[in-house]
């Protein structure tokens, strides 16, 4: 019987070990997780130890040296392209593996595999949407295009090899923290994943149509009212290409179908749409870029500036690097997940991008024969659709299968089985036609930009860029500056694709593509600068329809400064790039002030009005006025538009801020009237009412000492999994959507860069994150405080001979 | 004497085993040490418990000091332990200690059983 105590304790011990080896709910297996030898403790990097490493890879043709500086930026010195991209892949994986894979899972609609179905199937919905909008479909086409080009294929192969070389030697105790928390392991990288990542950028930057919203609005407005509220051009627009530039007659002349009056422009017909598009990218995914010519700078050489505005996450979207071979030398930021430098400069030129914001994604209403969706009406007969069955693996559940019909227009994104927000539309199916579905090789553009020597190389490089449309700004050491809105854009008739189009015949299809030479561009203009800030690219003399939803105020601010400034220095550019002057407030506030009826205001209301009266129109972090102004305008928008748009199906799109500002100057602005009241309200009435609604909210925030703009806005950089302890919150920042410093709560300048093209290039930059993706590293978030304060780091373009420089923390030798 | 030697041996061998094996290697080692160096069950349990408490506790502490508590503070907010790195080290050490103690107890009982067969 003496064996019984042994058996009991052994069973208990094994039971405990087994329990600690299994995940419990969202808690990872605690045994391995807590063990200091194998668990998360291993992700706690010693803050001051930076041992050099010697690595051996038979895949390499030659030796590669990588020098890490004190900002943890790798300077890669390779002897050939294959080795260079192998090492870039290896380093991306070493610093950002989890993020690379997670973002490509998001692009491919595979989040459920690692996160489970989510609350109310939210992650499953997200995944289904990504498949249905055609992300994998488009990525496959782009991969085919990329692999058809020998240079691109060789670059992709080398990059993939490098990522996998890292994954293959990754021991369990080096596994990135997020894999441990979610209890899974990385899979191998492949070229398709790079294609998916690039497609994800297309999704973020060219996914911002408002077809359903505008269709719903159209259904309740007359043509005349619609044109007033959603004008194709804003009066105060300062376009990318200066007003008055002449354009050649169009090469393609799209013809409006004869049926538009009955089938498309169904003004005020109260037709029903009822689809809520899901997971739309942020509408402010925009950016600023500009280049000034040597005539306007102190050094006599051009300066180029760029700051792309995107969702601000940890780990950051960007990874800073220098890539050097005997043939070329480039510095800038790269996408973990893709080879090349995306925004940066080399020894002769610099380039940057902003989003063009053109509408290249349209919806068509498909008429299926029956619920099986096997056939749909096209040009008078029933045509077969292609049914794709998508499989979704789900963590902790059985797989889910989704059938998606592919038509001549594109995949059917919304139908009775997937309506966005579980609102059924039994009779409607909407196919999406999107430029990103087509194969294209954007990577080739970056490959060539990295190597360009002059403006004609730049011209050649950008031709490969089809989607998402971007404003490529350029400057070089010989003094040229240029900007080109590049992308493959459909030639549309006026208002084509603003609304959902009939999908029963070919008459509403895109009729042609605007030729690359016709895309708006300008070189070395007399005014001595080029710029873009997501505004409409041209004035109304451009011979193609451009769509109707562009922000205008940042562009006005930038151009105003650039006109005024002379003898420009890098410090001037830093000041300008982080400038908080609000042109929107400058335009709108006087109109609000002149329309508010002060005689009806209480003393408290007057107190806050006085704060606005004394405001310098700057959205600085310490000011109280920006919050009051923003709330006032938001309330005014609600006062003016809500009653009129209430009758429309949801969702709807409110007119742009600039449109309402313009409307405030109209003598008989009929939408000021609240149609739900008996009396007729005037602009004065609604402006005053909006202010009265603003004050209680403002007063409450003031009492809690939260009214200062920095506190009110409460900016932060969130971890991709939205885990608070791995995020940074409560950053005191100024700026906002309509200032050059476009820092919103969780969105804003994701990489600020200033490059002066003197003989020895001088460059400055910063992004809100850190080079390491590991929350256990001091380099995880070390740039954030400096970024919040609007400060920059000097970018060190290292020479091969500087290996002993004191800035070099450690070296990795690849043999 | 046996107590001290056992603790030392458990810690050293656990460290070596942990380089190649998952977390349960500490149980394996505690078990074997207790089976080879016989102590009364209570003392064996204490040996296993204290050995791994010291081993995991010190190792986690050492890692944490070099890391300026960057990660431990984040993890101790995630779990949630009020952001206390010290508490997270203690929990780590105690979880290891419980495994070690139970395994050592099993080892001691096994030795006791085998000895009883031979006597």
State the pLDDT confidence band at B80, using cuts at 50, 70 and 90: confident
Percent of chain B with pLDDT over 70: 99
Instruction: Please tell me which residue of chain B has the smallest CA distance to A33.
Output: B23
Q: What is the average pLDDT across A610-623?
A: 97
Residues of A in contact with B90 (CB under 8 A): none
Instruction: Please tell me which residue of chain B has the smallest CA distance to A8.
Output: B106
pLDDT score for A650? 84
State the pLDDT confidence band at A277, using cuts at 50, 70 and 90: confident
Residues of A in contact with B44 (CB under 8 A): none
pLDDT over 50 (residue A154): yes
Q: Which residues pair with A297 in a beta bridge?
A: A568
Helix H, strand E, coil C: the string for B44-90 is HHHHHHHHHHHHHHHHHHHHHHHCCCHHHHHHHHHCCCCCCHHHHHH
Query: A757-782: per-residue pLDDT in tens?
Result: 999 999 999 999 999 999 999 999 99
A43 → closest Cβ in B23, B71, B105: B71
State the pLDDT confidence band at A274, using cuts at 50, 70 and 90: low
Query: A503-512: per-residue pLDDT in tens?
Result: 999 999 999 9
pTM of the predicted protein model: 0.95
Cβ–Cβ below 8 Å for B64 and A44: yes
B90 touches chain A (CB under 8 A): no
Tokens of residue A683, six digits: 């602009």
Cβ–Cβ below 8 Å for A6 and B63: no
A44 → closest Cβ in B15, B27, B72: B72
A32 → closest Cβ in B23, B60, B63: B23
A41 → closest Cβ in B60, B73, B95: B60
Q: What is the average pLDDT across A626-653?
A: 93
Cβ–Cβ below 8 Å for A2 and B113: yes
Q: B69, B70, B108: which to substitute to probe chain A, counting the most A Cβ within 10 Å?
A: B70
Helix H, strand E, coil C: the string for A572-583 is HHHHHHCCCECH
Question: What is the torsion angle, in degrees rounded to the nearest 10, for the CA atoms of residue B65, residue B66, residue B68 and residue B70?
Answer: -110
Instruction: Please tell me which residue of chain A has the smallest CA distance to B107.
Output: A6
State the pLDDT confidence band at A425, using cuts at 50, 70 and 90: low
Q: Are A352 and A305 in contact (CB under 8 A)?
A: yes
Q: What is the mean pLDDT of chain A?
A: 94
pLDDT over 50 (residue A269): yes
B91 touches chain A (CB under 8 A): yes
Q: What is the average pLDDT across A678-693?
A: 95
For CA atoms A771, A777, A779, A781, the dihedral sign is positive
A778 → closest Cβ in B70, B77, B103: B70
B29 touches chain A (CB under 8 A): no
Residues of A in contact with B66 (CB under 8 A): 44, 46-49
Cβ–Cβ below 8 Å for B23 and A780: no
Cβ–Cβ below 8 Å for B99 and A776: no
A778 min Cα distance to partner chain B (Å)? 7
User: Phi-psi category of A206—alpha, beta or left, where left has phi over 0 and alpha has psi -120 to 50?
Assistant: alpha
B1 min Cα distance to partner chain A (Å)? 25
Q: What does the alpha-carbon distance between residue A753 and residue A706 come to, in Å, rounded to a whole number?
A: 32
B4 min Cα distance to partner chain A (Å)? 23
pLDDT score for A781? 97
pLDDT over 50 (residue A639): yes
Q: What does the alpha-carbon distance between residue A744 and residue A714 come to, in Å, rounded to a whole number?
A: 9
Which are the contacts of A552, defined by CB distance < 8 A and separation ≥ 6? A234, A236, A237, A238, A535, A536, A658
Cβ–Cβ below 8 Å for B109 and A6: yes
Instruction: Please tell me which residue of chain B has the smallest CA distance to A26.
Output: B79
What's the angle, vertex CA A512, arms to CA A509 and CA A518, rounded to 5? 145
Instruction: Please tell me which residue of chain A has the smallest CA distance to B31.
Output: A10
Q: What is the average pLDDT across A582-597?
A: 97
Cβ–Cβ below 8 Å for B102 and A9: yes
Query: B17-40: per-residue pLDDT in tens?
Result: 999 999 999 999 999 999 999 999
State the pLDDT confidence band at A268, using cuts at 50, 70 and 90: confident
pLDDT over 80 (residue A726): yes
Residues of A in contact with B75 (CB under 8 A): 40, 725
Q: B62, B86, B106: which to substitute to probe chain A, counting the most A Cβ within 10 Å?
A: B106
pLDDT score for A426? 63
B102 → closest Cβ in A16, A30, A780: A16
A47 → closest Cβ in B22, B41, B66: B66
Q: Are A392 and A400 in contact (CB under 8 A)?
A: yes
Q: What is the average pLDDT across A624-638?
A: 97
Cβ–Cβ below 8 Å for A49 and B116: no
Question: What is the torsion angle, in degrees rounded to the nearest 10, for the CA atoms of residue A678, residue A682, residue A688 and residue A692?
Answer: 20
Q: A6, A20, A722, A773: which to substitute to probe chain B, counting the most B Cβ within 10 Å?
A: A6
Q: What does the alpha-carbon distance between residue A347 and residue A757 come to, in Å, rounded to a whole number?
A: 9
pLDDT over 70 (residue A54): yes
Q: What does the alpha-carbon distance between residue A693 and residue A696 come to, in Å, rounded to a whole number?
A: 7
B59 → closest Cβ in A37, A45, A47: A37
pLDDT over 50 (residue A609): yes
Residues of A in contact with B40 (CB under 8 A): none
State the pLDDT confidence band at A423, using cuts at 50, 70 and 90: very low
B53 touches chain A (CB under 8 A): no
A776 → closest Cβ in B59, B70, B106: B70
B56 min Cα distance to partner chain A (Å)? 6
Cβ–Cβ below 8 Å for A44 and B66: yes
Residues of B in contact with A724 (CB under 8 A): 77
Instruction: Please tell me which residue of chain A has the smallest CA distance to B78.
Output: A725
B78 → closest Cβ in A13, A17, A723: A723
pLDDT over 80 (residue A669): yes
pLDDT score for A668? 85
A5 → closest Cβ in B23, B75, B109: B109
Tokens of residue A653, six digits: 């799109």
B5 min Cα distance to partner chain A (Å)? 23
Task: For residue A632, give Cα distances in angstroms to A255, A484, A498, A580.
Answer: 43, 38, 29, 19
Residues of A in contact with B64 (CB under 8 A): 41, 44
B113 → closest Cβ in A3, A31, A775: A3
pLDDT score for A424? 41
Cβ–Cβ below 8 Å for A13 and B106: yes
Cβ–Cβ below 8 Å for A778 and B68: yes
Residues of A in contact with B98 (CB under 8 A): 16
Residues of A in contact with B99 (CB under 8 A): 13, 16-17, 20, 31
State the pLDDT confidence band at A11, using cuts at 50, 70 and 90: very high
Would strands A361-366 and A501-502 be described as parallel, antiparallel, or unpaired? parallel
Cβ–Cβ below 8 Å for B72 and A46: no
- Output phi, psi for A749, to 5 deg: -65, 105
**Structure ipTM:** 0.96
Query: A323-348: per-residue pLDDT in tens?
Result: 999 999 999 999 999 999 999 999 99
Instruction: Please tell me which residue of chain A has the smallest CA distance to B30.
Output: A13
Q: What is the mean pLDDT of chain B?
A: 94
Q: What is the average pLDDT across B57-67?
A: 97
Direct distance between the N- and C-terminal alpha carbons of chain A, in angstroms, rounded to an integer: 63
Residues of B in contact with A43 (CB under 8 A): 71
């Amino acid at each position: 019987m003496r064996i019984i105590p042994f058996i009991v304790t052994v069973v208990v011990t094994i039971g405990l070990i087994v329990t600690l080896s299994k995940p419990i709910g969202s808690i990872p297996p605690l045994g391995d997780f807590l063990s200091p030898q194998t668990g998360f403790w291993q992700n706690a990097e010693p803050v001051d130890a930076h041992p050099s490493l010697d690595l051996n890879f038979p895949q390499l043709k030659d030796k590669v040296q990588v020098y890490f500086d004190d900002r943890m930026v790798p300077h890669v010195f390779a002897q050939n392209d294959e080795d260079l991209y192998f090492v870039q892949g290896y380093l991306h994986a070493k610093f950002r593996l989890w993020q690379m894979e997670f973002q490509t899972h998001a692009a491919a609609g595979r989040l459920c595999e690692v996160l489970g179905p989510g609350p109310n199937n939210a992650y499953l919905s997200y995944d289904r949407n990504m498949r249905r909008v055609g992300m994998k479909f488009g990525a496959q086409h782009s991969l085919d295009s990329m692999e058809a080009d020998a240079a691109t294929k060789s670059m992709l192969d080398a990059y993939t090899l490098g990522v996998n070389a890292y994954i293959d030697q990754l021991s369990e105790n080096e596994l990135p923290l997020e894999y441990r928390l979610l209890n899974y392991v990385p899979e191998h990288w492949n070229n398709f994943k790079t294609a998916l990542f690039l497609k994800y950028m297309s999704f973020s930057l060219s996914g911002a149509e408002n077809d359903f919203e505008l269709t719903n609005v159209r259904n309740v407005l007359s043509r005349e009212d619609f044109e007033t509220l959603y004008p194709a051009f804003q009066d105060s627009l300062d376009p990318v290409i200066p007003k008055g530039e002449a354009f050649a007659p169009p090469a393609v002349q799209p013809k409006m179908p004869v049926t538009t009056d009955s089938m498309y422009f169904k003004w005020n017909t109260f037709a029903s749409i009822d689809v809520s598009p899901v997971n739309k990218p942020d509408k402010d995914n925009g950016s600023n870029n500009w280049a000034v010519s040597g005539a306007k700078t102190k050094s006599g050489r051009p300066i180029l500036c760029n700051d792309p505005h995107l969702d601000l996450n940890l780990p950051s979207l960007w990874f800073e690097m220098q890539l050097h071979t005997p043939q070329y030398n480039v510095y800038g930021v790269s996408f973990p997940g893709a080879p090349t430098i995306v925004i940066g400069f080399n020894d002769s030129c610099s380039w940057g991008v902003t989003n063009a914001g053109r509408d290249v994604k349209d919806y068509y209403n498909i008429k299926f024969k029956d619920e099986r969706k096997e056939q749909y009406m096209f040009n008078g007969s029933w045509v077969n659709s292609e049914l794709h069955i998508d499989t979704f693996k789900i963590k902790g559940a059985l797989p889910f299968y989704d059938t998606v019909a592919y038509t001549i227009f594109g995949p059917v994104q919304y139908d009775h089985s997937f309506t966005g927000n579980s609102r059924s539309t039994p009779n409607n199916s909407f196919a999406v036609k999107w430029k990103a579905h087509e194969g294209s090789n954007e990577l080739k553009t970056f490959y060539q930009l990295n190597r360009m020597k002059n403006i004609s190389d730049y011209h050649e490089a950008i031709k490969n860029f089809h989607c998402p449309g971007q404003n490529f700004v350029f400057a070089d050491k010989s003094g040229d500056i240029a900007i080109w809105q590049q992308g493959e854009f459909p030639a549309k008739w006026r208002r084509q694709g603003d609304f959902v189009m009939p999908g029963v015949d070919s008459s509403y299809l895109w009729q042609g593509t605007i030729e690359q030479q016709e895309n708006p561009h300008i070189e070395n203009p007399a005014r001595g600068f080029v710029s873009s800030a997501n505004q409409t690219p041209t004035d109304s003399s451009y011979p193609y329809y451009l769509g109707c939803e562009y922000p205008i105020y940042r562009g006005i601010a930038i151009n105003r400064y650039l006109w005024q400034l002379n003898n420009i220095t890098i410090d001037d550019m830093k000041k300008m790039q982080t400038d908080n002057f609000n042109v929107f407030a400058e335009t709108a506030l006087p109109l609000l002030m002149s329309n508010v009826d002060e005689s009806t205001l209480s003393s408290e209301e007057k107190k806050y009005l006085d704060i606005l009266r004394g405001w310098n129109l700057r959205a600085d972090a310490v000011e109280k006025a920006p919050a009051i102004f923003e709330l006032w305008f938001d309330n005014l928008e609600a006062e003016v538009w809500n009653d009129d748009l209430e009758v429309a199906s949801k969702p709807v799109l409110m007119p742009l801020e600039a449109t309402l500002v313009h409307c405030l100057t109209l003598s008989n602005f009929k939408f000021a009237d609240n149609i739900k009241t008996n009396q007729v309200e005037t602009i004065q009435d609604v402006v005053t009412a909006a202010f009265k609604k603003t004050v209680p909210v403002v007063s409450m925030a003031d009492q809690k000492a939260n009214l200062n703009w920095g506190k009110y806005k409460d900016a932060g950089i969130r971890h991709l999994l939205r885990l608070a302890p791995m995020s940074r919150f409560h950053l005191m920042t100024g700026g906002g959507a309509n200032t050059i410093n476009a820092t919103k709560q969780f969105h804003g300048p994701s990489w600020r860069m200033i490059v002066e093209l003197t003989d020895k290039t001088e460059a400055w930059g910063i992004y809100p994150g850190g080079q390491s993706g590991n929350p256990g590293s001091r380099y995880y978030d070390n740039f954030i405080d400096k970024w919040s304060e609007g400060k920059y780091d000097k970018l060190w373009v290292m020479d091969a001979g500087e290996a002993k420089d004191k800035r070099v923390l450690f070296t990795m030798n690849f043999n | 004497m046996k107590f001290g030697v056992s603790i030392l041996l458990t810690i050293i061998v656990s460290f070596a085993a942990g380089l190649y094996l998952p977390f349960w290697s500490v149980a394996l080692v505690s078990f074997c040490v207790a089976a080879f160096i016989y102590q009364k069950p209570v003392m064996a349990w204490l040996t296993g418990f204290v050995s791994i408490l010291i081993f995991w506790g010190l190792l986690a502490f050492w890692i944490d000091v070099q890391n300026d508590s960057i990660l431990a503070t984040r993890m101790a907010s995630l779990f949630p332990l009020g952001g206390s790195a010290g508490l997270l080290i203690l929990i780590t050490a105690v979880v290891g200690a419980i495994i070690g103690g139970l395994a050592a107890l099993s080892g001691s009982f096994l030795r006791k059983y085998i000895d009883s067969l031979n006597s």
